[in-house]
Chain A
Amino acid sequence: MLKLNNLSVAYKDHQVLDEMSLTAKEGEIIGVAAPNGTGKTTMFNAMANFIKPDSGYIEFYQKHTYKTEKDEIYIHKHMATFPEQKDLFEELSGVDHLKLYANMWQGHTRHVPEVIQRLHMQDYVKKKVKTYSLGMRQRLCFAMMAAADTSIMLMDEVMNGLDISNVAIISDILIEMKQQNKIIFVASHLLENLDLYADRVIFLKGGKIVYQHHLNEDNQDHIKISMDHMQYKRFKENYPLPENHQYIAGHLLCIPLENMTIDEQTNWIERTLDYKDSEVVIGPLGTMEYYEKYYHDFK
């Protein structure tokens, strides 16, 4: 278990993390959805003790904190952080990088060929990194995490520069990792992709977690229809909307179907049919909707 207790980090006057608390349990993938500059990387850096928080502390299995270097090494033995592409060693090959991470965390490299095969890297992994494209580098960075195979993984911008097929492969591997009882943090701009494997997605704003979207629990169906402000106003005048409806980011009306009879649900669907140009979707609110809700006006 990894616990963030009232973590605060400020750079001069700018409060990046503000008494943030969070608990992550084994077998859980926590997605982090937030625009740039909201403190995702700072949160990861504080979790790995690359930066010291101004207040608050990180707790590892209710026992270890970053109090001494010995504790730090103990935690780091169980935690790997996602490397940035620009920091890779250009003169070394992909295999060298994978062996490095495998050796440093597992003490052996027996599983490296499997990682290479799983990520379809056989064609280029023995070449020097300086010959890699962005996508190849990103795959290598993820493969390094897989080679480290730690129980806690902090992955910042894991899907950057990847094509659809590679996003799918990595998503599958993340699900497998979750099944191995790992705690995985994934920051990604591919919001809909997060819904595939994350157990919850946290939304950061003003240094705090403004919302935690539990994907396995918050599965209440909504009628989702796009409409502009004027249409929404008229619609609201014509049909009194339920109190818990949401109008997100000035373009998406979400009407919860919970506690409605079949007739009521049908009525609401019929009412939306007047908006022929808009697509009507029925389903739970996803990360994308919450993202729009919290960051619509974010600058």
Chain B
Amino acid sequence: MSWKYLLFEAKLLINNRKFWFIAVFLLLYFPIYYMIYSDTDPETLQDGKRVEQEMTDSALDQFSDDILETTDGQQVYDNLLDQLSLINMQIYYIGLGNDDQAYIDDGLKLNELRLKNHELNNVGIPEHLIIPKDEVLKEEAFLSYINEKQIPLDSNEYVASKYIVVAVSIMSGLMYYFIVLLTSGDMLVYEKQHKTVVNGFPISFMSKVFSKIALYFVYILIPLILGTLLSIWYAARKEGLGNFSEPVLIYQQGDYTAISTSQYLVYVFGGIVIITLMVLLLSMLLNVLFNNLYATVLIGLGLFLIPELLMAIHWDPLFLRIFKYVDIVNILSGDLALELGDHGIDYWHALTWMMVTIIIFSCILYLINKLNYRRNLITKGVSYNAKA
């Protein structure tokens, strides 16, 4: 029966204009964003190096003479000079020199020098000109991966493999959370308008819940995946497919690791699968509790935004952290771990907790239904044992 019910619900979805609108949005988001993105001027490897060049130059200019007289100061200054030289060479290698391997070798040397300066507390370098240690570690992981896999450096930021990483980072977080909430906000509530048709169906509440969640899950993910493939095809036609084995940095177990773009996308979509399930269950729970589409969407958004507000007053309630995990790209990049100062927050940590939340939400739904049934019996005093 649940299968038949699911098919019927699918028919309702197909006949609903709101769902078509959301499906089209999901389908076209990535291709349309590509058009916008291809008009922008993203920072290339060379641009990044030029910024580093300027920063190092400034650091040298502003280096205090007093500190230069100390042993550590002298060492830091010499390091900076070597760094500047390496950066200049890197700019040459990715430009006229056209030598990827030399670029990587110099890059690795550059990182060593930067880390050495960190060991020396970067004495004499103004705070704003210090390359943070995290950035150095990221760069090191990035270059080591390229070196190990012998991947050519591609300066074209518009190829499909590079674009898709940018596109998912824009979609991740509030936007995706809102789309799922909006789509599912009335998945139970709409039945109020058809209650004499659907009330007596011989299926359990939980079967109904899981049928609906399965359907909405498929409904959201299909256009999303199709949209992603469509944008990859479109970007490949325009600028080329790129290289899906190029590295993307992720934060794992307190460290930065480079993984291939394809593996990164698998991580992101794995996360999206879990996030979708969790938000759908949250939406179902809010449907049951508040019985109203607007309440579901607004309270759902509130749960996402409240942690941000609380963090502004330096309060980080652990139970609300789960809503921050919805931004899976932020988790993968390690930005959330840095923001919250908790090095344990990485991809698998977030996924585990979201799965636990899914189980908790399912249990709450089950208990609410059980309690409602029981409460109705108790408050109304139905004497089922009257016969006995």
Contacts and interface: CB of A to CB of B under 8 A. Distances in A.
Nearest to A84: B196
Contact of A56 (B7, B8, B194, B382): B382
A48 B200 contact: yes
Given A69-B369, A89-B197, A92-B15, A103 B386 contact: no
Interface residues of A, number: 41
Interface stretch (B128-136, B249-257, B372-380): B372-380
A59 interface: yes
A81 B200 CA distance: 7
Given A83-B196, A107-B4, A52 B202 contact: no
A197 interface: no
B382 A89 contact: no
Judged by DSSP, the binding face of B is helix
Given A52-B382, A54-B380, A69-B373, A104 B387 contact: no
Contact of B384 (A65, A80, A84, A100): A65
Contacts of A79: 200
Contacts of A82: 196
B386 A68 contact: no
Interface string B344-388: 000000000000000000000000011001001100111110110
A57 B369 CA distance: 21
Contacts, number: 96
Contacts of A66: 382, 384
A103 B384 contact: no
Nearest to A68: B373
Contact of A76 (B195, B201, B377, B381): B201
B196 A104 contact: no
A131 to B, nearest CB: 14
Nearest to B192: A87
B199 interface: yes
A56 B383 contact: yes
Given A81-B196, A81-B200, A89 B12 contact: yes
A87 B4 contact: no
A59 B386 CA distance: 11
Given A69-B369, A96-B11, A107-B1, A55 B383 contact: yes
B195 A87 contact: yes
Interface residues of B, number: 33
Contacts of A65: 384
Interface string B189-208: 00001111101111111000
A77 interface: yes
A5 B387 CA distance: 9
Contacts of B194: 87-89
Contacts of B202: 73-74, 76-77, 104-105
B196 A87 contact: yes
Nearest to B379: A52
Contacts of A69: 204-205, 369-370, 373
B219 interface: no
Given A67-B377, A73-B204, A5 B199 contact: no
B5 interface: yes
Nearest to A9: B380
Nearest to A85: B196
Nearest to B193: A87
A239 interface: no
A147 to B, nearest CB: 12
Contact of A81 (B199, B205, B369): B199
B200 A103 contact: no
Residue in B8, B205, B382 whose Cβ sees the most chain A Cβ within 10 Å: B382
Interface in B312-349: none
Nearest to B377: A52
Nearest to B1: A104
Given A52-B377, A79-B200, A103 B8 contact: yes
Nearest to B7: A103
A67 B196 contact: no
Nearest to B16: A91
A6 interface: yes
A5 B386 contact: yes
B291 to A, nearest CB: 16
A11 interface: no
Given A69-B204, A69-B373, A104-B5, A83 B197 contact: yes
- 4 smallest CB-CB distances across A and B, nearest first, come from A103-B4, A76-B202, A52-B380, A91-B15
Given A83-B197, A89-B194, A104-B202, 14 more contacts: A52-B380, A57-B383, A57-B387, A66-B382, A66-B384, A69-B369, A81-B200, A87-B193, A87-B195, A89-B197, A99-B8, A100-B8, A103-B1, A104-B203
19 contacts: A5-B386, A53-B380, A54-B381, A55-B383, A57-B384, A66-B384, A69-B204, A69-B369, A73-B204, A76-B202, A80-B200, A81-B196, A88-B197, A89-B12, A89-B15, A91-B12, A92-B11, A104-B4, A105-B202
Interface of B: 1, 4-5, 7-8, 11-12, 15-16, 193-197, 199-205, 369-370, 373, 376-377, 380-384, 386-387
